[in-house]
Chain A
Amino acid sequence: MNRLIEKRGYRPINSEDNPDNGRKWSFKQKLLLGLSPKAYLQQLLHNPVNWALCVIFAIGLPVIVYRYVMGLGGVMHASYDYPWGLFLGFGLFCMVPLSASGFLLGTTVELFGHTKFKPILNLALLNGLLGYLFAVIYLLVDLGCPWRLYYPMFVSWGTAAVLFLVGWHVATYLSVQIMEVSEAFFEWVGWPTAKKFIHSGTIGLTVAGIILSTLHQGALGTLLCYAPGKVHPLWYSQEFLWIFYLCSSVFAGLCMVIAVSTIIKKTMAWRCGSEFLENLDSITIGLAKGASMALVTYFIIKIIGITHDNEWSYLATGWGQWFMLEIGLGVVLPIILFAVGIRRNSVALIRFTAFLTIAGLMMNRLNTALITFNWNLYQEIPHPLETIITVTIFALFITVYRFILYRLPIVYAWKAVPEEARIPVPVPDRADVVTARPEPQLTRVMNS
């Protein structure tokens, strides 16, 4: 893409009309980013990331097929002691907190009216939507009978179960997020009425997002309260596990936005709108402030949790050292680095710290759900094929994420053409007949 911009003066689609000829972009053109099919294919082939993804898919997709043909036993250790592996340990327990961004920035911008964060709102919403969507996709791989995914909704209700709550909330919240992100989609596809309709319900959707997120982020932690002896005491807390999970999802979601926006800025600058690029540094610092507050809170309640259950003696064991490593690298160090970064206005340091915090959070989730699970039995290393599938689905996540970012107005603002300004011109069949139309050009100038 960068090559296209440098060499051929490519301008990405950012409004309803093609600035070169003043005609409306067709859906196909929008899909192809305004390029000819040949040019589109060329830019695909030029991008080394695509090649890497292709290699992953070439290996991973057959493994996924193999999983559905042979059953879970073909790709997992089929352990009765470790019923959950990476699919849930990573796919559900890590993806969900990292997708808390949607409700956090929704609350900040829509509810508290901090319009400073507006340029990053759509990215946070999309990050949330895709995170949840892929958590469900991981679930579809992990469930023994994925075709029964709707059973807890429509067939048989286990209302007393925490997982019932998680299932319903993730499903509902996914719908809420689809609606929130659909605003950008309607804008891109050119249905302003639908966009307006969704926009009128923003506050309702945002509040629904807060409720659902509070509950299911916490509920994920509560899931492990069913396994009190199996999760190591240092990671377990009957009273507080849900608060730990909720609180850590706050900094996880915020850091995920910092991390994703960093990657976008580095690799997709051509797609970013000026509003996004110009404000990103100050937004990042703002997000870091929020994240460090959550980190400090998390650190305090973690200490309260250990004190409450009097687990200090465990710290002297090997597991205790592992725990302290997790807290040290994933919580204490980020608190210090964020503080330094914010004080010195060092966005680079903040960005690095965001990645570190995400790694720390993933370590925490994997520790609780997988690594320290059955701490007094034996430890199990995930099956190689299980790891391959996990990586493949994450690659799919990246692919879809990028596909949407290239097109929908997520990190750039869609330039709306006021209806009354557009002069209805009969569209000729062949593009080369009409070479210039002054009126739409004019409106664009006026509008910008």
Chain B
Amino acid sequence: MRKISRRGFFKVTAAGSSAVAVSSTKKAFGMKEFHGYPNSMGVLVDLTRCIGCRTCEAACNKEHGLPEPELPFDDFSVFDQVYHDGKEKRRTSDKAFTVVNRYNPKASGGEPVYRKFQCNHCNEPACLTSCFVNAYTKTKEGAVIYNPDVCVGCRMCMVACPFLVPAYTYESALHPQIKKCNFCYDTRLKYGKPPACVEACPQEALTFGHRKTLIKIAHERIRENPKKYVDHVYGETEVGGTSWMYLSGVPFDQLGFNTDLQHHPILDNTKSFLGFVPMVLGIWPALFMGFHLLAKGGKGNDEDKQSNK
């Protein structure tokens, strides 16, 4: 017999309470919905501030050591480039992780409005949840990063991405991989620094901060300048929320944004089916064995022998 000393008692209590803490964390992870990590960082892109100088594109190119661009970054003729019978403007590629496009929306009377876009770093990313080798990770800082070492190259993530962001190095025979913005995770974000494009932007069209704070800032900007902004923070709830969010002075659909997106994670679309899977695994064997026994009605063995001949 050992007497429990006062100190020992505290130890046990501490252990117990930490166990409770651990189990409650587990409970939190077991939740059906994931709304992003609590201290996730993000960027608020205020399109009313963007002047289309493309400095972010240049900074991104330099930060990631991307190939030389076709045209200089101060060449604004790229804004006139259109593809697919004029239906599409420039998009992210394996050589450019961020792109600025110019729009002349009706709402601004044809005045140019610039839109920067890149990976929006969803809270519950479709690329991540659709990947069958878990090549994607949502870091606690909010970045959605990709591991080329396990990627099989099925390109499901490209199909799944609601923002059409991931690009693929199709021309590589031996090491093809997905290329997309990684929030400068390896070089900056994980050291607490803002991504290169944010730092380079002269207008602070890109505001870096905690996602939670950015949402407050965004709504405050709208509240203070109701005439300047459309009353919507794009990315606050789209596909379950994204780390990168947008403010605009003209309706988002006039700037090439997809405004028909669902406001819950893409993953939810598959949940009803995935929930059905264990049911099939559990019910089908007994159900069909039952049918089998009913159908054969005891004479099964004879028939088997006959047909076996």
Q: Which residues of A contact B (CB under 8 A)?
A: 68-74, 76, 78, 80-81, 83-84, 107, 110-113, 115, 118, 142-146, 148-149, 151-152, 155-167, 199, 203, 207, 210-211, 214-215, 218-219, 222-230, 238-239, 242, 377-378, 416
Is the Cβ of A157 less than 8 Å from the Cβ of B270?
A: no
Within 8 A of A (CB), among B254-309: 258, 260-262, 266-267, 269-270, 272-274, 276-277, 280-281, 284-285, 288-289, 291-292, 295-296, 300, 303, 307-309
Q: Which of B173, B261, B266 has the most CB of A within 10 A?
A: B173
B285, A211: Cβ atoms under 8 Å?
yes
Verify A161–B129 contact, CB threshold 8 A: yes
From B12-20, B47-55, B149-157, the one touching the partner chain is B149-157
A222 touches which one: B170, B172, B270 (CB < 8 A)?
B270
**CA separation between A416 and B307, bound complex, in Å?**
13
Cα separation A152 to B130 with both chains bound (whole Å) = 12
Q: Which residue of B lies closest to A111 (CB)?
A: B292
> Quick check: B288 and A207 within 8 Å, CB to CB?
yes
Would you give the shortest CB distance from B144 to chain A, in whole angstroms?
14
Contact of B85 among A76, A84, A219, A378 (CB under 8 A): A378
| Most chain B CB within a 10 A radius of its CB, from A69, A149, A162, A226 | A226
Interface centre among A83, A111, A152, A239 (most CB of B within 10 A): A83
Partner of B260, one of A112, A118, A218, A229: A229
Q: Which 5 A-B pairs have the closest CB atoms?
A: A144-B153, A73-B170, A73-B171, A78-B170, A83-B155
Interface CB pairs A-B, < 8 A, 15:
A78-B168, A80-B93, A80-B168, A112-B292, A113-B296, A151-B150, A152-B132, A156-B135, A163-B131, A203-B289, A218-B276, A227-B159, A228-B262, A242-B276, A377-B87
Q: List residues of B whose CB falls within 8 A of some A CB.
A: 84-85, 87-88, 91-93, 126, 129-135, 150-156, 158-160, 162, 164, 166-174, 176-177, 258, 260-262, 266-267, 269-270, 272-274, 276-277, 280-281, 284-285, 288-289, 291-292, 295-296, 300, 303, 307-309
B-side contacts of A156, CB under 8 Å:
133-135, 150
Complex Cα–Cα for A289 and B151 (A): 45
Q: Contact check: which of B154, B267, B277, B300 meets A163 at CB < 8 Å?
A: B154
Q: How far is the CB of B58 from the nearest CB of chain A, in Å?
A: 22
Using CB atoms, name the residue of chain B closest to A155.
B150
B84 to chain A, nearest CB (A): 4
Asked if A143 contacts B262 (CB within 8 A), the reply is no
Residues from chain A with a CB closer than 8 A to the CB of B173 are 68-71
| Alpha-carbon distance A376/B225, docked complex (angstroms) | 33
- Verify B156–A144 contact, CB threshold 8 A: no
Min CB distance B86 to A, Å, is 10
- The winner among B92, B171, B262, B273 for most chain A CB atoms within 10 A is B273
Q: Which chain A residues lie closer than 8 Å to B164 at the CB level?
A: 80-81
* Bound form: Cα–Cα A223–B270 in Å: 8
Which among B93, B171, B270 is the interface contact of A71 at CB below 8 angstroms? B171
State A156–B154 Cα separation when bound (angstroms).
14
Of chain A, the residue at the smallest CB distance from B281 is: A211
Residues of B within 8 A of A242 (CB): 273, 276
Inter-chain contact B303/A207, CB cutoff 8 Å: no
Q: Which residue of A lies closest to B131 (CB)?
A: A158
B303 A113 Cβ-Cβ under 8 A: yes
- Closest residue of chain A to B308 (Cβ to Cβ) is A199
Q: A81: which B residues are within 8 A, CB to CB?
A: 88, 91, 164
Closest A residue to B262 by CB, please name it: A228
A210–B291 Cα gap in the complex (Å)? 13
**Cα–Cα distance between A348 and B133 once the two chains are bound (Å):** 48
Q: Is the CB of A207 within 8 A of B156?
A: no
Please name all residues of chain B whose beta carbon is closer than 8 Å to the beta carbon of A78 when the two chains form the complex.
168, 170-171
Whether B133 lies near A157 (C-beta < 8 A) is: yes
Give chain B residues whose Cβ lies under 8 Å from the Cβ of A166.
132
Residues of B within 8 A of A151 (CB): 133, 150, 152
13 further A-B pairs in the complex, CB-CB below 8 A; given A81-B164, A199-B308: A68-B173, A71-B176, A111-B295, A144-B151, A144-B177, A145-B153, A148-B150, A166-B132, A210-B284, A215-B277, A218-B273, A226-B129, A378-B87
CB neighbours (8 Å) of A71 from chain B are 169-174, 176
Contacts of B158 in A (CB 8 A): 80, 83
- Chain A contacts of B168 at CB under 8 A? 78, 80, 83, 144
Known contacts A214-B280, A229-B258, A230-B159, A152 near B133 by CB under 8 Å: yes
Q: Considering the chains assembled together, what is the distance between the CA atoms of A214 and B281 in angstroms?
A: 10
Q: Give the chain B neighbours of A110 by CB distance below 8 A.
A: 292
Contact B269 A226 (CB under 8 A): yes
Neighbour of B130 across the interface among A112, A155, A226, CB < 8 A? A226
Please, which residues of chain B bring their CB within 8 A of the CB of A107?
Answer: 288
Indicate if the CB atoms of A157 and B134 lie closer than 8 Å: yes
Contacts of B174 in A (CB 8 A): 71
Cβ of B130 to closest chain A Cβ, rounded Å: 5
- Residue contact A228 to B303, C-beta cutoff 8 Å: no
CA distance A19 to B134 in the complex (A): 59
Q: Which of chain A's residues have a CB closer than 8 A to the CB of B91?
A: 80-81
Q: Tell whether, in the assembled complex, residue B153 and residue A161 are in contact, meaning their CB atoms are under 8 Å apart.
A: no
Complexed CA–CA distance, A203 and B300 (Å)? 11
Q: State whether A207 touches B162 (Cβ < 8 A).
A: no
Q: Give every chain A residue within 8 A of B308 (Cβ-Cβ).
A: 199
Residues on the A chain within 8 Å of B303, using CB: 113, 115
| Contact for A145 among B152, B266, B284, B295, CB less than 8 A | B152
Decide if A115 touches B277 in the complex (CB within 8 Å). Answer: no
Q: Which B residue sits closest to A169, measured CB to CB?
A: B277
Which chain A residue lies CB-closest to B272?
A239
Residues of B within 8 A of A203 (CB): 289, 292
Residues on the B chain within 8 Å of A416, using CB: 309
CA distance A145 to B174 in the complex (A): 7
Q: Beyond A72-B170, A74-B171, is A164–B132 a contact (Cβ under 8 Å)?
A: yes
| A226 pairs with B156, CB closer than 8 A | yes
What residues of B have a CB within 8 angstroms of the CB of A76 in the complex?
170
A residues near B300, Cβ cutoff 8 Å: 113
B150 touches A84 (CB 8 A): no
